[in-house]
Structure 1
Amino acid sequence: MSLASLKRLLSYDSRISETYSVDPEKEFQVPFGKEPCDLELVAGSESCEVRSFLNEKKSFKIVDARLVSDAIIGLSDGMTVPFALTAGLSTLEDTNVVVFGGLAELIAGAISMGLGGYLGAKSEEQSYQATLKETREQTVAHPSSTAAMISDVFAPYDLPSTLVADLTAHISESPNLPSFLMKFHHTLPEPSESRAITCAVTIALGYFVGGFVPLLPYFFVGSHEAFYALRWSVATMVVALFLFGYGKTCFVSGWRGSQNIRRGVVGGLQMVLVGGLAAGSAMALVKAFQSLASSGSPDDKHD
């Protein structure tokens, strides 16, 4: 310990001894929003730094998990379905058909996915409101069953029976009883008013952005070089699918550490496998349809 730290410690101990007659609760009160950093000499010099670091971390707004989920849904579908379609249309060896067909599918798919997300979020909101109304009616009509529901919430925590009884009595008389039951008994989070629109826009944009990636190479080739563009499209999508799978997995499990990196690599390879199977299936179907059309043509029948 340095000389300066020793002097500060002695002065701090002297202040405690001089004010010991004061109420300890009043003495150690700190202003709201500030940390008692003067105690770092007693608790350790790193304690104040840790608390300030945690406060800085709390100041950052955490990304909504539902928003991330909607983006993943849109991107995952957009990176597989349009890619499979463009890969299948490439067998026709007409770049214009691939571009126009891909753009039509992108626009229609984005609108369909967005509407699906909007209707799903609206249904979730209506379900929440209906459950909330039923819960409010139950708290008024059946107070005994409501008390049992409150007790069931605290049952897994192995609390003393007297404490559970006090908590049940207090919560039963609280005006926030319906909200408590919705959150802890029904485990239904309250949806925001803009949830439906946000969900629709996020899914639609994710689908369009993810599906536009395999179309990019077709804008830079000739009208009869669709198969050449398909090679670049496949290479682009392999990289994009791997990065998407890696990022999606590491976003949940973490970015650092050998185990998280290994999970990210596995997630990326899984996305590449899923996209490859979808594209291969689409190409096989288009080839099968071409063979059926050629075998059933009038010239073949005449021969």
Structure 2
Amino acid sequence: MSISSIKSLLASYSPVSDRDSSDMEKDFARPLREGSDVELADGLSAARLRKQDADKKSFRIVDGRTVSDAIIGLSDGLTVPFALTAGLSALGDTRVVVFGGMAELIAGAISMGLGGYLGAKSEEESYRATLKDTKEQILIDPASVVDTIADIFTPYDLPEELVSQLTMHMASSPELPSFLMNFHHTLEEPAASRALVCALTIAMGYFIGGFIPLLPYFFVGPHGAFVALQWSIAVMAFALFLFGYTKTCFVSGWRGAQNIRRGVIGGFQMVLVGGVAAGSAMALVKAFQVLAHSGPGGPDDHNREHP
């Protein structure tokens, strides 16, 4: 088996940025050996360039993490504010629904955005800490690093001679920290703007998703909350179904009867979740109203005292 046959194995290789690995260049830079090592280095370089080009093209089309953040924000925004506005509608006052809904939307969007920001920052700090530990292990215990490299190639059923060549080459390569981060720790370096983009995406997704059930209340009178609730339920049922269908098909695919069936099932599942959330909220508000009217000092108690 030639060295070029392992190019597909290393196709997912993405190096650590220059700012992280520059301080390791002087510690690990050694001249490449002749023959197979040179061929291997050419293969790795070509695979890395192809991977970088593919990453740039795919990033221009869609970023998987951004899509995931948008789904998180929209999913919460389409259920939690909808349940709140549906529950407040039991009070019969449109202004209470609008003010309470807007307050929840703003507070929820800020909270979700901050949560996404802190989560992305923690991910970035975890990556840097792991990279630091990896570099220290390379300097302090190179023998264990050689065993780790060999273990990475073992599952791929490569010839022992080829594994030995790969191990020896990577052990002396300046790209060793990047190799271990990608193939041993399986961690991808977060982008510098990851935390900010994550926060804005989740917050905007939450606000947009939560504003949908609030729209009908802007077009009715002060006491038309129940009418607006009916329109809100219809709009949200459609929005939840569309969101569930789109989310499912984005993962499984858009074409084919099986993918369409999965999308329909995912849409009805989202409608069911939103319906249960809204029904629970309305039931709780109704229960609180009953307790308020029947408790001490309530209207019922006042009527009993003054027949």
Same fold (TM over 0.5): yes
**Paired residue secondary structure (1:255):** coil
Give the drift of 1:296.
1.1
Instruction: Tell me how far apart the structure 2 counterparts of residues 59 and 113 of structure 1 sit (CA, whole Å).
Output: 27
Aligned counterpart, 2:158:
159
Give the drift of 1:59.
8.1
Aligned counterpart, 1:122:
121
C-alpha distance after superposition, 1:240-266 (max 9, x if no partner): 000000000111111110011011001
**Paired residue secondary structure (1:223):** coil
User: 2:86 aligned with 1:71, yes or no?
Assistant: no
Equivalent AA in structure 2 for residue 198 of structure 1: V
- Correspondences of 1:51-62 after superposition (within 5 Å): 61-62=60-61
Q: Once the two structures are aligned, what percentage of the paired residues are identical?
A: 74
User: 2:266 aligned with 1:267, yes or no?
Assistant: yes
Give the drift of 1:200.
0.1
Instruction: Tell me how far apart the structure 2 counterparts of residues 228 and 91 of structure 1 sit (CA, whole Å).
Output: 11
Give the drift of 1:90.
0.2
Aligned counterpart, 2:148:
149
Instruction: Tell me how far apart the structure 1 counterparts of residues 284 and 64 of structure 2 sit (CA, whole Å).
Output: 37
C-alpha distance after superposition, 1:77-111 (max 9, x if no partner): 00000000000000000000000000000000000
Which of 1 and 2 has greater Rg? 1
Instruction: Tell me how far apart the structure 2 counterparts of residues 239 and 66 of structure 1 sit (CA, whole Å).
Output: 26
**Paired residue secondary structure (2:78):** helix
Instruction: Tell me how far apart the structure 2 counterparts of residues 233 and 297 of structure 1 sit (CA, whole Å).
Output: 35
Instruction: Tell me how far apart the structure 2 counterparts of residues 164 and 175 of structure 1 sit (CA, whole Å).
Output: 19
**Paired residue secondary structure (2:222):** coil
Structure 1 vs Structure 2 CA RMSD: 1.4
Aligned counterpart, 1:215:
214
Question: What is the aligned residue count?
Answer: 247
Aligned counterpart, 2:197:
198
**Paired residue secondary structure (1:241):** helix
User: 2:82 aligned with 1:83, yes or no?
Assistant: yes
Give the drift of 1:301.
4.0
Aligned counterpart, 2:295:
296
**Paired residue secondary structure (1:130):** helix
Give the drift of 1:60.
8.2
Aligned counterpart, 1:106:
105
Equivalent AA in structure 2 for residue 271 of structure 1: M
C-alpha distance after superposition, 1:151-172 (max 9, x if no partner): 1111211111111111010001
C-alpha distance after superposition, 1:137-183 (max 9, x if no partner): 00111111101111111121111111111101000111111111011
Find runs of 4+ consecutive structure 1 residues off by over 6 angstroms: none
**Paired residue secondary structure (1:61):** helix
Instruction: Tell me how far apart the structure 2 counterparts of residues 135 and 82 of structure 1 sit (CA, whole Å).
Output: 45
Equivalent AA in structure 1 for residue 274 of structure 2: G
Further displaced range: 59-68 or 202-211: 59-68
Aligned counterpart, 1:26:
none
**Paired residue secondary structure (1:230):** helix
C-alpha distance after superposition, 1:179-199 (max 9, x if no partner): 110111101110011000000
TM-score (norm 1): 0.79
Compared CA separation, residues 237 and 103, structure 1 to 2 (3 A):
same
Instruction: Tell me how far apart the structure 1 counterparts of residues 166 and 61 of structure 2 sit (CA, whole Å).
Output: 31
Instruction: Tell me how far apart the structure 1 counterparts of residues 281 and 244 of structure 2 sit (CA, whole Å).
Output: 21
Instruction: Tell me how far apart the structure 2 counterparts of residues 290 and 161 of structure 1 sit (CA, whole Å).
Output: 75
Aligned counterpart, 1:95:
94
Equivalent AA in structure 1 for residue 232 of structure 2: S
Equivalent AA in structure 2 for residue 170 of structure 1: H
Equivalent AA in structure 2 for residue 202 of structure 1: T
Instruction: Tell me how far apart the structure 2 counterparts of residues 61 and 99 of structure 1 sit (CA, whole Å).
Output: 39
Instruction: Tell me how far apart the structure 1 counterparts of residues 208 and 301 of structure 2 sit (CA, whole Å).
Output: 45
